[in-house]
Amino acid sequence: MRRPMVAGNWKMMGTRSEVEALSKSIVAGVSAISEVEMAVFPSFVYLDHIQKTFSGTQVAWGAQNIASERQGAFTGEVSAEMVAEFGCEYVLIGHSERRQYYGETDQIVAVKTMRAFEAGLKPIICVGETLSEREAGRTFSVVEGQLEAVLALENSNQTLYNAVLAYEPVWAIGTGKTATAQEAQAVHQCLRERVAKRDEKLAKALRILYGGSVKRDNAAELISQPDIDGCLVGGASLDGQHFLDIASLCNRSY
Q: Which residues are catalytic?
A: 95, 168
Tell me if 117 sits within 8 A of 155, measured CB to CB. Answer: yes
- Whichever of 173 and 203 has its CB closer to ligand 13P, that residue is 173
> Where would I find the beta strands (DSSP E) of the chain?
5-9, 37-41, 59-63, 90-93, 122-127, 164-167, 207-211, 230-233
Q: How far is the CB of 245 from ligand 13P (least distance, A)?
A: 14
Interacting residue ranges for ligand 13P, rule: CB under 6 A: 9, 95, 168, 173-174, 211-214, 232-236
Nearer to ligand 13P, 183 or 199 (CB): 183
Q: Angle at which helices 139-151 and 106-118 pack, to 10 degrees?
A: 40
Asked whether the beta carbons of 92 and 62 are under 8 A apart, the reply is yes
How far apart are CB 209 and ligand 13P at their closest, in Å? 9
Contact 128, 119 (CB under 8 A): no
Query: What's the alpha-carbon Rg for the chain, to the nearest Å?
Result: 17
Provide the 3-class DSSP secondary structure of residue 166. strand
Instruction: Give the integer Cα–Cα distance in Å for 134 and 26.
Output: 35
Question: Least distance to ligand 13P from the beta carbon of 249, Å?
Answer: 15
Q: Are 228 and 208 in contact (CB under 8 A)?
A: yes
How far is 111 from 19, CA to CA, in rounded Å? 30
Q: Which is nearer to ligand 13P, 150 or 193 (CB)?
A: 150
Which residue, 156 or 218, has its beta carbon nearer to ligand 13P?
Answer: 218
Residue number, 6 or 114, with CB nearest to ligand 13P: 6
**Closest CB to ligand 13P: residue number:** 234
